[in-house]
Structure 1
C-alpha cells in the first residue's frame, strides 16, 4: 500500500492535491496522512473538510477522511509532529506547506526554511520512502526580463528577489540537497497558479485580483503585449500527484508551467474579462505607467477600487507589477516528455474566475495573498 503524506492540505495547492487524490484514487490501495495546524485531530479534520468543500467534493468523498488521516502539527514547530511513529510508514511525500504570503509575515523564514529542513531531515530517515516532492516556485529562479527559462539553467544569482517568499523557496531547495543527500528529493516549481478550470476562484482568489485591479485602474506597470505564464491549480495538482507516484522519473527538477506556446498576453486577459462581464475591453484606454506615477494617483484608489488601504494597494502594485514586467516564460519540456498534457489556457476559464469573484471588492479578494 502507498502511504502519502501531504503537507499544506488546508491551503490552495495542497487542497487541490487532496481533491485530485480523492477523485481519482478513492477506493484504491492508497492511504493519506495530512499535516494540518490544529489543536486536535478532530479540529484538523474539520479544517481539511472545510477547505475541500471549496473544491466541490461530495459528502461521500469527504466521508472517506477521518481523524486517522490527520497529523496535527506546524512547520514552525516541527518537533511537535516529527516524532509521530506514523511517519516511519510513509512511502511518498508531497510537501505543499509554506507561507506563500507576499506580505511581511514574520514566520515566513521559520516555516519555509527552518521547519521545512527539519521535516526533510526526519523523512530522510524513513527507509521505505520512495519519493519526496517539494513544491517550490518558478520565480525562485530570478529569471531575466523577456526570457524563456529552461529547466537545465541555473538560477540567476545576478538578479534580486522581488519578495522574500521566492528567496526562502530557493534557499530550502539548496539546504535540503546539502543536508539530505539520501532523500529521494524532487523539486516541482509551478509558475503562477491562478484559479481552477471548473471552479474558477471558488477555492482561492489568489493572484486573480491583480488582473481585476489593473483593469479597474486602467493602468499598470506592464505592457498589454507582455505575457504571463499562468496554470490552473487543478492542473498543478494532477502533475504533482503524477510526479509523486510515477514508478520512475528522469529528473530531480521540473517546471509546472504552460510553456512558451500557452502563455497569456495581458490584452487577452482584458478581452476575456470584459466578455465575461459583458462590458468593453479597456485596450484603447490602458496606460503603462511607472510605480512612481501609480503612487502619485493613490488618492484615486478608493474611488475606483472601493474602501481600501492605499499603502497596501501600492505595495501590491510594486510587488506584482515587478513580476508582470518580467514577461518571462518557463519551459515545460520535461513534463511533455513524460506524456503529461499541456494545461488549459488561462483564457478558457477566465469566465469562471470572473463569475466566482463577482460582487467582491479588490481589498476583499487580495487578503488571501497578504496574510
Structure 2
C-alpha cells in the first residue's frame, strides 16, 4: 500500500494533489500523511479540510482525511517534525510546500532551501522510500527570450533570476542532488499554473489576476501575440501523482507544461475573457508598454483597476511583466512519451476563471501571490 507524504497540502498545488488522490476509485488502498503548519492536529485538520472544500469534494471523500492524517510541521523549522516516527513508513513523497510568493518574503530562502534540504536528508534515510517528487518551477531554468526550453538543456547561467523564488527553487534541486545522491529523487517543473478546469479560480486566483489587470489597463509589457505557457492545477496534480506512483520513470526531471504547440497567445486570452464577461476585446486598443512608461501613469491605476496600492501594482507589473516579456515555451516531450495526455487548453476553462473571480477587485485577487 502506498504511504504518501504530501507537503503543502493546505495550498493550491498540494490541495489539488490531495483532491486528485481522493477522487481515485482505489483511494482506500492509499495512506496519506499531510504536513501542515498549525498549533495542533485539530487546527491542522481544519486547515486541510477548509482548503479541500474549495475543490468541491463530497463529504464521503473528505471523510477519508482524519486527524491521524495530519503531521504538524513547518519547513522553516523542520527540526520540530523530522523525528516523527511515521516518516519511517513513508513510501512516496510529493513535496509541494514552498514560499511561492514573488514578493520579498523574509523566510523564502529559509523554507525553500534550508528547511527543505533538512527535510530531504531525513527522507533519504527512510529505507522503504520509493520516490521523492519535488515541485520546482520551469522558470528556474532562466530561459532565453523567445525560446523553447527543452528538457535536456542545462539551466542558463548567463541569465539572471527575475525573482528570488526561482533562484531558491533551482538551488534546492542542486543541493538535494549533491547531498542525497542515492535518494529516488524526481523534479517536476511546472510552467504557469492558473485555475482549475472544473472550479476555475475558486481554489486560488493565483496569476489569473495578471491577465485581468493587463486587459483592464489595455497595455502590458508583452506583445499581443506573446505565447503564455499555462496549465490548470488539476492537470499538474495528476502528473505529480503519476510521477509519484509510476514504477517506470525514465528521467529525474520533467516539465509539466503546455508544450511547444499548445501555449495560449495573449490575444486569445483577451478574446475568451471578453466572451465570458460579455465585454469587448481590447484588440484595437492594446499597446505594448515598458515598465518605465507604466510608472508615468501610476496615478491612473485606481480609476482603471479600482481601489489599489499603486506601488504594489507597479511591483506586480515589473515582476510579472518581466516573465511575460520572455515569451518562452517549455517542451513536455518526456510526459508525452509516458503516455500522459496533453493538458486542457487555457481557453477551454477561462470562462470558469472569469465566473469565479467576478465581483472581486484586482487588489483582492492578487494578494494570494504577494504573501
Using the TM superposition, give the Cα deviation of residue 25 of structure 1 relative to its aligned residue in structure 2, in angstroms.
4.8
For 1:80 and 1:182, how far apart are their aligned partners in 2?
A: 25
In the TM superposition, 1:6-85 aligns within 5 A as 6-25=6-25, 27-85=27-85
For 2:279 and 2:304, how far apart are their aligned partners in 1?
A: 16
Aligned residue number for residue 236 of structure 1: 236
For 1:272 and 1:204, how far apart are their aligned partners in 2?
A: 19
In the TM superposition, 1:110-125 aligns within 5 A as 110-125=110-125
Structure 2 unaligned spans of 5+: none
For 1:65 and 1:166, how far apart are their aligned partners in 2?
A: 32
**Would you say how many aligned residue pairs link Structure 1 and Structure 2?**
371
Aligned residue number for residue 94 of structure 1: 94
Structure 1 unaligned spans of 5+: none
Indicate the SS of the match to 2:75: coil
For 1:91 and 1:20, how far apart are their aligned partners in 2?
A: 18
Q: Give the RMSD, CA atoms, in angstroms.
A: 0.6
Aligned residue number for residue 282 of structure 2: 282
In the TM superposition, 1:144-293 aligns within 5 A as 144-293=144-293
CA distances 1:238-274 after superposition (whole Å, capped 9, x unpaired): 0000010001210000000010110000000000000
For 1:280 and 1:101, how far apart are their aligned partners in 2?
A: 32
Aligned residue number for residue 354 of structure 2: 354
TM-score by length of 2: 0.99
Indicate the SS of the match to 2:319: helix
For 1:25 and 1:174, how far apart are their aligned partners in 2?
A: 37
Q: Which 4+ stretches in 1 moved above 2 angstroms?
A: 25-28
For 2:248 and 2:37, how far apart are their aligned partners in 1?
A: 32
Residue 305 of structure 2 is aligned to residue 316 of structure 1: no
Indicate the SS of the match to 1:213: helix
For 1:37 and 1:290, how far apart are their aligned partners in 2?
A: 40
Indicate the SS of the match to 1:54: helix
Aligned residue number for residue 129 of structure 1: 129
CA distances 1:57-115 after superposition (whole Å, capped 9, x unpaired): 11111111111100000000000000000000000000000000000000000000000
Using the TM superposition, give the Cα deviation of residue 305 of structure 1 relative to its aligned residue in structure 2, in angstroms.
0.6
Indicate the SS of the match to 2:158: coil
CA distances 1:301-348 after superposition (whole Å, capped 9, x unpaired): 001111111000000000000000100000000000000000000000
Indicate the SS of the match to 1:106: coil
For 1:347 and 1:338, how far apart are their aligned partners in 2?
A: 25
Q: Given that residues 21 and 27 in structure 2 are in contact (C-alpha distance below 8 angstroms), is that contact kept between their aligned partners in structure 1?
A: no
Aligned residue number for residue 2 of structure 1: 2
For 1:147 and 1:64, how far apart are their aligned partners in 2?
A: 44
